[in-house]
Amino acid sequence: MRWSVSLGSIAGTKVRLHLTFLLFLVWLGALAWGSGGPPAAAGTVSFFMLLFFCVVLHEFGHVFAARRFGVHTPEPRTCSRS
């Protein structure tokens, strides 16, 4: 997948991070820095990283539930340019 970085694999499922998420964190950090300084930036970025971690855990709940009931979870298709 273009613009994504592999973070590894958990139980055979690849975890990828899209680079625009990092840009989003930088943007939020800059906004928070401007309004409340470094502590606000650190708190804001930490909050969104923890929120991302919770979303990843939630999605793995879907993956493990699907596997438990025998549902195959295929690898997402990638776009190819001609």
How does pLDDT run across 5-21, given as a tens digit for each residue?
Answer: 999 998 888 889 999 99
Arithmetic mean of pLDDT over the chain: 89
pLDDT (tens digit, 9 = 90+) per residue, 57-74? 999 999 999 999 998 876
Tokens coding 2: 């273009």
Q: What is the pTM of this model?
A: 0.77
Residue 78 near residue 1, CB atoms below 8 Å: yes
